Chain A
Amino acid sequence: MKIFVLVEHRQGKVRDITYELLTVGRELAEKFNGEVTALLFGGVDEKIDRLKKNAHHIILVEDEKLKNFNAELYQKALVPILKDEKSYIMLIGHTAFGIDLAPALATELDVPISTDCVGIQIEDDNFITIRQMYGGKLNAKVSFCEPGRYIITARQAAFPAKDGNLDGKVISMPSPVGEIDYRKFIEYVEPPIEGVDITKADIIVAVGRGIKDKDNIPMVEELANALGGVLACSRPIVDAGWLPKERQVGSSGKTVKPKLYIAIGISGAFQHLVGMKGAETVIAINKDPNAPIFNEADYGIVDDLFKVVPVLKEKIQELKKG
C-alpha cells in the first residue's frame, strides 16, 4: 500500500495541514508496511528540510502554473501519478484547496472518497474513517464500498503533527500540465479591518445563531461592555448581515486567544472552535446540553440565553462596583 500526501502551500509557504497529513501518512505506512510520498507541486519559497524529515519520498513538479493552487491544474498533475496505482491511500487536507480538488479528482480516477475525516482506523480488516455530521453533534463510522484505493480528506487540526526523522529523497518530475483557458488564478484578496480588531481583546463575548434576531444583539453587547470586552460572533451572524466579517471567530474568520471567551447561543461547530481554542477560560451559555461547545468550555450554563444574559450583566456590574 502506497501512501500519498498532497503538500498544501500558499504564498510560498507549506501549510500546517501538510505536516498533520504526513504524520497520519507515516502511521498508516507503518500499519500497511508502505512508504509515504509527499507530492509538492509548483515549489515553495522556503527550504523543504521539514518535508524531507516527514516523508520517504518527495515528488517535486516544478511549474510556475502550479505555484498558486488551481483545482483543475492540480488534478491534471495528480492523475498521471495515481492512475496506474492499484493500491494506495491519497491524503489531502479538508481545506479550501482540498474541498475544491479532492471530489473531482476521486471522480476522474473512479476512486471512493471520504471527506472531512477526523479519524482513520482498521476494524476487522476493513478500512474505516470517522467523520462528523450534523455540525459536529454526531460522529459517523464510514466504510468504503470498493477496496484498494482510497482518497481521504482530513480535517485541519484533527490529527496532531509530530515530526519524523526520515531523510526523504526528492524526485523531480516534469510537469504534465499544459495551458488551460477555463480556470485562472487571479490574485489573493485580503479584506481590510475597518473597526475593532478582536484578535487584540482580552475579553470576548461572542454571539451565535441562538440569538435569533438582530434586535437581540445589543443585549449581548451590553454584557461585553459590562465586562470591558468586545463583541464577536460565529458565522451565521455575519451571513445574516447582523455584524461585520471582522467580528467573526472561526476558520474563515479570526483566530483569537483572549483571557476570557464567553460563547452565547453558539453550538460549537468545528469551524468556530478552531478560532477560539486558544482562549484561556471559556464559558458557554446554550440551551442544548449536548452542544459541542460544552466540550470546549471550562464552565457552562444550560439554559435559555435570554434569561441568563441580562442577569449576568447585572451581576457583573454589581461585582465591579462592589
Chain B
Amino acid sequence: MDIIVCIKRVPETAEAEIKVDPNGKDIVKDTLNFDINEADNYALEEAVLLKEKFGGKITLISVGEEECEHILRMGLARGADDAIRITDEKFSELDGFATAQILYSVIKDIHFDIIFTGCIATDDGYSQVGPTLAELLGIPHATLVTSIEVKGGIARVHRELEAGLLEAVDIKLPALFAVQTGINKPRYASLIAIRRAASKELKVLSSKDIGLEEPRRKIKIESLFVPPVTKRAEIIEGSPPEAAAKLAEIIKEKGLL
C-alpha cells in the first residue's frame, strides 16, 4: 500500500503568547518554537501503522522553506521512505486552495492508495487543504477521521461528528483522509533511526519543477487583530498562595463549598 502524507511545519501557539507583527498580516515568529502540525503528526503515525500491516511505501510532502526539513527528517526516522519539499519564493501568503494546488502538482504523478493530511492546521485553521486536494485529484475523501480499517480496497472510517457522536463511512480507495487528533499514539523515533534519517537525501522541488508558475490564491488575509473582548475575568492578583487564598474565599462566598 503506497501512502502519501502531507505535513506542515507550524509555530506552537497553544501555550505561547502571540503578537501581531508590524505589517499586521502575520505574527511575530522569532520567539516561537516550530514543529509538525499536531493533526499531521497523527496522520503520519496512521500511515506508518498501515505500512506495518500492508507493506508499501510512504512519501512525505511538505510545502515550505529549508526549516521544514526538520519535520520531514523526523518523519523519515519514524518510518517514511521518501520526503519531498516544495519551495519557491513565489509560494508566500498561501491560502488553502493554493497549498492544495501545489500539492496536487506533485502528487498527480505519484502512485498512491491513500493520502493522509491532518484535518486542521493549528495556525490558520482552514480545514481545507485535504478535501480540496482530493477534489483536484478526483478521488473521494473523508475528514475528521478517528479510525481506519482497510479491507479489499475499501476503508471503513469513523468520522467525528459533534457531541461525541461518530459516523461509520465506507470509502473506496484510492482516497484521501484528513485525520483527527487522538486517532493513535504517535511513536517517537529511535536515536539510530534519527541518525540514519539525518543523512538521507530529500527531494527539493521548485515551482518550475512542478510546472506551476503561480499558485492561485482565492482569499487574502488583510489584517490580524486581537479579538474584541466582550467579557473579561476579574484577575486575582498576588503571589500564588495569596491568590489561591482569595480564590478559595470567593468559592466559599458563592456557597460552593
Q: Which of B135, B156, B221, B230 contacts A186 (CB 8 A)?
A: B156
Closest Cβ–Cβ distance, residue B144 to chain A (whole Å): 5
Question: B128 interface residue, CB < 8 Å from A?
Answer: yes
Shortest CB-to-CB span from B22 to chain A, Å, is: 15
Residue numbers in A under 8 Å from B221 (CB-CB): 140-142
Q: Are B247 and A128 in contact (CB under 8 A)?
A: no
- Complex CA distance for A269 and B38, rounded to whole angstroms: 15
B252 at the binding interface (Cβ < 8 Å): yes
**How distant is A39 from chain B, measured CB to nearest CB, in Å?**
19
Least CB distance, A238 to chain B, in whole angstroms: 6
Cβ contact within 8 Å between B227 and A292: yes
Task: Give chain A nearest CB distance to B159 CB in angstroms.
Answer: 6
Contact B222 A142 (CB under 8 A): yes
- The number of inter-chain residue pairs (CB within 8 angstroms) is 280
Given contacts A96-B162, A116-B125, A319-B257, contact A311 B18 (CB under 8 A): no
Q: What 3 pairs across the A-B complex have the smallest Cβ distances?
A: A239-B182, A300-B233, A112-B218
A interface footprint on B129-142 (CB within 8 Å = 1, 0 otherwise) = 11110111000111
Complex partner residue of A294 from B17, B97, B168, B232, CB under 8 angstroms: B232
Q: Which residues of B contact A245 (CB under 8 A)?
A: 164
| A235 vs B160: C-alpha distance when bound (angstroms) | 13
Does residue A63 face the partner (Cβ distance < 8 Å to B)?
no
Name B96-133 residues within 8 Å CB distance of A. 96-97, 100, 119, 122-132
Instruction: For the complex, give the distance between the alpha carbons of A295 and B230 in Å.
Output: 7
Asked if B245 and A315 sit within 8 Å, CB to CB, the answer is: yes
A63 to chain B, nearest CB (A): 18
Contacts of B81 in A (CB 8 A): none
Tell yes or no: B201 within 8 A of A by CB.
Answer: no
CB pair B128–A288 under 8 Å, yes or no, is no
Give chain B nearest CB distance to A108 CB in angstroms: 6
Residues on B facing A (Cβ under 8 Å): 13-18, 20, 27, 42, 96-97, 100, 119, 122-132, 134-136, 140-144, 156, 158-172, 175, 181-182, 185, 217-227, 229-236, 240-241, 243-245, 247-252, 254, 256-257
Q: Does A167 belong to the interface (CB within 8 Å)?
A: no
Interface hits, A137-189 → B, CB 8 Å: 137-146, 156, 181-189
**B230 — nearest CB in chain A belongs to which residue?**
A295
Complex: A58 Cα to B170 Cα, angstroms: 31
Known: A252-B160, A315-B248. A295 touches B232 (CB 8 A): yes
B96: contacting residue among A100, A103, A284, A301, CB under 8 A:
A103
| Residue in B100, B164, B234 whose CB lies within 8 Å of A254 | B164
B135 in complex: contacting residue of A107, A254, A308, A314, CB < 8 Å: A107
Shortest beta-carbon distance from B244 to chain A in Å: 4
Q: Which residues of A contact B181 (CB under 8 A)?
A: 235-236, 239
**Neighbouring B residues of A288 by C-beta, 8 Å:** 15-17
In whole Å, how far is A123's beta carbon from the nearest beta carbon of chain B? 9
With A102-B131, A312-B248 already in contact, 10 other A-B pairs whose C-beta atoms are closer than 8 Å = A96-B162, A100-B144, A135-B13, A138-B225, A138-B226, A143-B220, A190-B166, A254-B164, A292-B227, A314-B244
**Residues of B with C-beta under 8 A to A252:** 160-164
Bitwise interface map of A from 61 to 89 toward B, beta carbon under 8 Å scored 1, else 0 = 00000001111100000000000000000
User: In the bound complex, do residue B142 and residue A116 qualify as a contact, i.e. CB atoms below 8 Å apart?
Assistant: no
Can you list 21 A-B pairs, Cβ within 8 angstroms, ordered by A? A69-B167, A71-B141, A96-B161, A99-B119, A99-B127, A113-B218, A114-B219, A115-B125, A116-B126, A140-B224, A141-B222, A142-B221, A144-B219, A145-B218, A185-B167, A245-B164, A253-B163, A287-B15, A288-B17, A294-B232, A308-B240
